[in-house]
Structures are given as C-alpha cells and as structure tokens.
Structure 1
Amino acid sequence: MNQLNLFIELTRLKKPIGYMLLFWPCIWGLTLVYDFSQNKNIYFFYSILFFLGAVLMRSAGCIVNDVLDRKFDKLVVRTKDRPIASGKISVKLSLFYAAILCLLAFIVLINFNLFTILLALASMPLAFTYPLMKRYTYWPQLFLGVTFNYGLVLAWTSISGSLNLVPLIFYLGAIFWTLGYDTIYGYQDIKDDEIIGLKSTSIKFKGTAKIFLIICYSILIFSLVVGGYLMDFNLYYFLFLIIPFTQLFLYQIKTFDINAPSICLKVFKSNNFFGLLVLINILIGKVS
C-alpha cells in the first residue's frame, strides 16, 4: 500500500489540474474537427482515448521531470519532499514506472491513424527534454506550451488525417495560454529558483508580469477569434467569447500577486475552468 501511495504521489494523480490542462487542448481539437451530424460514438470514444493519454503522459512526464530535477527539488521548499528528491523511491524504479506508463500511452495511441501516430512520436523528444530547458533559457514555459498543447493538433488529425491552418491557429493560441498560466505558476518558487540559478519567464518578467500576461492572453483571444472566423462559426461563438475573456483579464490578471504563492496557485488552477469555457464556446459555435 505504501508503494501505491508513493506511485500516486510521484505521478501527481491526486492533482488533476496537470492532466486536465493537457486534456483540454485535445478535446478542443477533437470538437473543432468533428462532424456532429455523423455518428457521435467515435467522438466519445476518442475523447476517452485522449483523456487516458493525457493522464498517462502527464504521469510519465512528472516522473521524468522529478528524475532530472531531483537535485534542484531538494533545494526548493515546495518540492523538497517529492518522492525522488527525498529518497523515498529510487531513480531506477521511477524510470521503470515511467516506461510502463509510456507503453500504456502507446497502446492508446495506436488506436489512431498512422499520420497521428507519427506526429505524436515526433513530439516525444521535446516532451521529455522540457525539464532541462529551465537550465539554459528563460523561456521553458514556451517549450512547455509547444509540448502541452500538441494534443490539439493530434486530435484534429485523428479525424481529418491531415492538417490545415485552423488547428495551427488554435494551437498557437493555446501555446500562449500555457505561456501565461505557467508563468503565474512559476511565481510560487521564484525566490528559490533565483537562488539556485534556474530560469523562467516568471523571473524574466518579474517587474512586468501583468503586461506580459496581457500580451499572452491577448494573443490567445485573438487566435480564438481568427480560428472561429476560419471555422465559419456562428455569431453566438463570438459573443460568448466575452466569458473566457472576462475569466482571463478580469479574474486571472487582476487577482494574481507575484508575492502571494497561494494566490498564484489558485489563479493557475482556475485555468481548468477556462478550458471548459473554451470547449463550451466551440460547441456553441458549431451549432448551426
């Protein structure tokens, strides 16, 4: 039972915000591309597959992240008690768990078409080297955004078998969404990160954080508008965009405080609600 608890702690399964933020772009992409006048069974089946994939890959990613960051995690108050950093579980066993999770994720992946499988496999090097970026660049959140929202593209190709400008526009917006919310998340550890020499957009834009967030979230909203136009969405889609816009600008940016880690975490977690709002908006846009 103790090993099970360690596994759950290692993979952050009790913290669903991580895998939900990975899942939302997937379901956005799937909903964008799907023809709801056809049989909806495939839509629900693929939704389940993408959800399982999000949980499995986020869990494996957490393990790889903790293996690579174990020396740094010992020096950060929030992470020093993580299983690998605290020595509760070995690196060897942790990597074994990660390999099993990746195998299960691959079993999920092979349910899709060949183009989607190849695209997904091509993203793996970036997905597992992301934790190293904070050592070399102030933009690790950008690399996270590219990786974390890749499911939007995969969901689109899983149905269409090809790519066009529409999913790429939404993907670009999602990247800036992650760039914003992970910058907020990074303010929890900024003091420790500065001491041990790690880099992030949280540190780079410490003095202009809200301006940076306004830019990121403006690009996100702009992409939702342009993407909706290219999809020929109805007027209600554009009218109801005021709700996610309000959540970003009148709640997140207005509320977050770089000097209050608990508030930063609360605002970060609110992005789960934002993901739902965008999904609802897409569904509204597709109603003819």
Structure 2
Amino acid sequence: MSDLSGRVADSTGNWVDSHAPSWARPYLRLARYDRPIGSWLLLLPCWWSAALASGIAGDVGSLPLMLTLFFIGAFTMRGAGCTWNDITDRDLDASVERTRSRPLPAGQVSLAGALTFLVAQALVGLIVLLQFNSFAIVTGIASLVIVAVYPFMKRITYWPQVVLGLAFSWGALMGFAATLGALGPAAFTLYAGAISWVIGYDTIYAHQDREDDALIGVKSTALLFGENTRTMLALFYALAVVLIGVSIYLSGAGATACVGLLAFAVHLAWQIRSIRIDDAALCLRLFKSNRDAGLLLFAGLVADAAMRAG
C-alpha cells in the first residue's frame, strides 16, 4: 500500500497536498480536486447557456442562484466522472508514466472505496439537479449514458474526444432547459460549438501522453492528427467560434456578447499559434488556459444578459 499522502505525478503543490487531511487526500485526488481545471471546463458551457437563456427571458433575477447550482453540480459531477474514469482505466493508468501514481493504480484507494465514493458524489449531484424544473432534471439525467461510455471510447476509436465533447458540453443545453424549460436552435448550436471547443482543447491535452498511448494501444485525436495538429486545431476552434456566434445571434444577444466572443476567439488563436506538440509542459499550460478563454466569453454573455434585462 502506497503512502496515503503520496502526490500524483502531474499534480503537486496544491491545497490537497498541503492542507487536506491525510485520510481524505486520495479521494480528493480521485475526484481531481487537486486539479480543478476540468471542473471549470465542464462548468463553463453551463454558465454560457444560463447567461444566454437569461438574456432571452429578459430576467437575470434567478441567474446568481442558477450559476451557483451549476458550480456545485459541475465540480461534483466532474469528480464523479473522474472517479468512474479511474475505475475503468485503473489498469491502463498503471502503464502510463503520468498516471501510474493516481490513487487506484498506486493502491491508495481500494476499488470498493472508489465505488462507494462514486455513489456518494452522484447523490450530491442528484440533489443539485433536483433543484431545477422537471425538464432540466430529465435533460441532466440523459447525459449519464454518454458519461458512462466515454472511458471505453479510447479503446475503440481515434475520436474519443468527440464523446468527451458530447459529455463536457452538455451544460450548453442545461442552462436553456433550466431557465426556459425547453431546447431550441440556439441551445443546440451552442452545444455543437462547445463540442468543437472540447475536441480542440482535449487534443492539446492528449499530446502529453501521445507516446505512452501509442505503446499501450490507447487511441486519441492527438495520435490521429500528429503533425497536422495545428491545422486541425484551427479547424475545430474556428468551428467553435462560428457555431457559438450563431447561437448568440439566435439568442438575440447584442454587441457586448460579440465582444466576449471576439476575446474568446483571440485567445484560441493564441493557443493555435503557440502550440508545440512535443512540449508536454506547454501543452498542459495551453490546455489549462481554456478556462480563461471560456471566462472571457462568459463575461460578455452575462453582461449582455444584464443589459437586456435592465
């Protein structure tokens, strides 16, 4: 059994390592609370859609509560998703340098303990989901099928990032469902744009493990695109900007939302220009920077919603 306070190889110097109780650290690492970037990336499409839907409704009175619920739900369900992913990938993770120190392959958490923790997180997520209307509850539950199958996709297709996009972009539907009780063209277009964004940034992330993945037979768009990554990144990021722009137009949002979209686009262009696929540290920094890109877009959308409601 490994030391319960042992750090994960690609996550050091964070609050979990330095302040969390020793008994809780393996579970917090299992849920990735030592690396919250994924939770932010899951959250941002929720916030985008909530802001756009509030603008359509002309009412931002319930928006602060909705943003808070989405924040709690995204961090909880991303933790549950990572726990499920680590349960299914525990043997593969043991074969990859960057992931072999994760709690399950390192022996810091038992399989039974991980399953119990998964159920506990799912129950918290359910409590959050039950705060919304019935249409939003059904919409949220529908995402679980995609979440369940995602970990297996890297074994059968070079496009697991598409399935991740379907799961991580689901929040683009949830804001409309929770605010308007319906889904329309603006919601589905935002969802498609978010999927394109996820494919782009997760391709960057996957380049960290490209060599190990090739050795153990795990597939990814990073392996598929190879030296053409910059071109494909430009394609998917451009598609994301266009589709999100169409959603903004269909939502009736104005110039302030477009300014947010422009800032988002400039940030993505900087990532495309900066990427060097053989520099793992740079790939990780660029991947993490997508939180800032998403927040820039959100700032424009929420400001526009406030202006329309006023």
In structure 2, the residue corresponding to 1:241 is in which secondary structure?
A: helix
Structure 2 equivalent of residue 148 of structure 1:
168
Structure 2 equivalent of residue 241 of structure 1:
261
Aligned-pair CA distance for 1:162: 0.8
Q: Is the 8 A contact 2:263 2:297 kept in 1?
A: no
Deviations 1:73-122 (A, max 9, x none): 11111001001011111111101000000011001111111111111112
Deviations 1:22-80 (A, max 9, x none): 1100011111111575461x211111111111011010111111111111111111001
CA distance in 1: counterparts of 2:261 and 2:191, whole angstroms:
17
Does the C-alpha gap of structure 1 residues 240 and 115 become closer, same or farther in structure 2, counting only changes over 3 Å?
closer
Does the C-alpha gap of structure 1 residues 241 and 50 become closer, same or farther in structure 2, counting only changes over 3 Å?
closer
Residue type at the aligned position of 2:141: L
Please list every run of 5 or more consecutive structure 1 residues that lacks an aligned counterpart in the other structure.
none
Structure 1 equivalent of residue 184 of structure 2:
164
Match of 1:7 among 17, 27, 40: 27
Residues 1:271 and 2:290 are matched in the alignment: yes
Residue type at the aligned position of 1:4: A
Residue type at the aligned position of 1:83: P
In structure 2, the residue corresponding to 1:163 is in which secondary structure?
A: coil
User: Which deviates further from its counterpart, 226-235 or 162-171?
Assistant: 226-235
In structure 1, the residue corresponding to 2:24 is in which secondary structure?
A: helix
Aligned-pair CA distance for 1:157: 0.7
Residues 1:55 and 2:75 are matched in the alignment: yes
User: Which deviates further from its counterpart, 150-159 or 180-189?
Assistant: 150-159
Match of 2:137 among 117, 124, 148: 117
Structure 2 equivalent of residue 98 of structure 1:
118
Aligned-pair CA distance for 1:224: 2.2
In structure 2, the residue corresponding to 1:15 is in which secondary structure?
A: coil
Residue type at the aligned position of 1:153: L
Aligned-pair CA distance for 1:284: 4.0
CA distance in 1: counterparts of 2:257 and 2:124, whole angstroms:
37
Residues 1:258 and 2:277 are matched in the alignment: yes
CA distance in 2: counterparts of 1:92 and 1:120, whole angstroms:
26
Aligned-pair CA distance for 1:236: 4.1
Q: Is the 8 A contact 2:146 2:167 kept in 1?
A: yes
Residues 1:132 and 2:139 are matched in the alignment: no
Give the alignment's TM-score, normalised by structure 1: 0.96
Q: Is the 8 A contact 2:139 2:177 kept in 1?
A: no
Residues 1:18 and 2:38 are matched in the alignment: yes
CA distance in 2: counterparts of 1:165 and 1:194, whole angstroms:
39
Structure 2 equivalent of residue 188 of structure 1:
208
The alignment yields a C-alpha RMSD, in angstroms, of: 1.4
Q: Is the 8 A contact 1:139 1:201 kept in 2?
A: yes
Aligned-pair CA distance for 1:233: 2.3
Aligned-pair CA distance for 1:231: 1.9
Percent identity between matched residues is 35
Match of 2:87 among 45, 57, 67: 67
CA distance in 2: counterparts of 1:44 and 1:236, whole angstroms:
19
Deviations 1:183-241 (A, max 9, x none): 00000000000000000111100121011101101111101221122122223433553
Aligned residues: 286
CA distance in 1: counterparts of 2:262 and 2:125, whole angstroms:
36
Aligned-pair CA distance for 1:18: 0.9
Does the C-alpha gap of structure 1 residues 98 and 264 become closer, same or farther in structure 2, counting only changes over 3 Å?
same
Q: Is the 8 A contact 1:243 1:277 kept in 2?
A: yes
CA distance in 1: counterparts of 2:258 and 2:58, whole angstroms:
22
Residue type at the aligned position of 1:247: H
In structure 2, the residue corresponding to 1:56 is in which secondary structure?
A: helix
Please list every run of 5 or more consecutive structure 2 residues that lacks an aligned counterpart in the other structure.
1-20
Residue type at the aligned position of 1:112: F
